[in-house]
Amino acid sequence: MWLGGFYRLYNKGRTETIHPGSPSSSEWVKSMDNPEASAEQKKTLLRKAIKHQTQFRIDATVGQGCDRHLLGLLCASRELGMDLPKIFRDEV
């Protein structure tokens, strides 16, 4: 089914989080605030951040994201009455 020009890859659709923050985007942002970073370094880091973000978006679009899998693990642990797994107790 075509909706708004985009093909939905899963029956009834799929949601996935596409994170704007990444180590690559952080490096680029820091370079923009660094007066010692050259324009070429800043462009290189921006291109790296864009490449990373684009791949992350593609992975999420085709069902290779991690957020829904993690949500499934969280829900399963609750339904089974398990203690909250350590990965979900990290403040980060």
* CB crowding 71-89: b at 16 or more within 10 Å, else e: eeeeeeeeeeeeeeeeeee
* 43-90 per-position pLDDT tens digit: 999 999 999 999 988 887 777 777 777 888 888 999 999 998 888 888
pLDDT at 35: 97
pLDDT at 12: 56
pLDDT at 2: 43
Q: Is the separation of the CB atoms in 25 and 52 below 8 Å?
A: yes
pTM tops 0.75 = no
* 10-37 per-position pLDDT tens digit: 555 566 777 778 899 999 999 999 999 9
Domain range summary for the chain, segments of one domain joined by + = 21-88
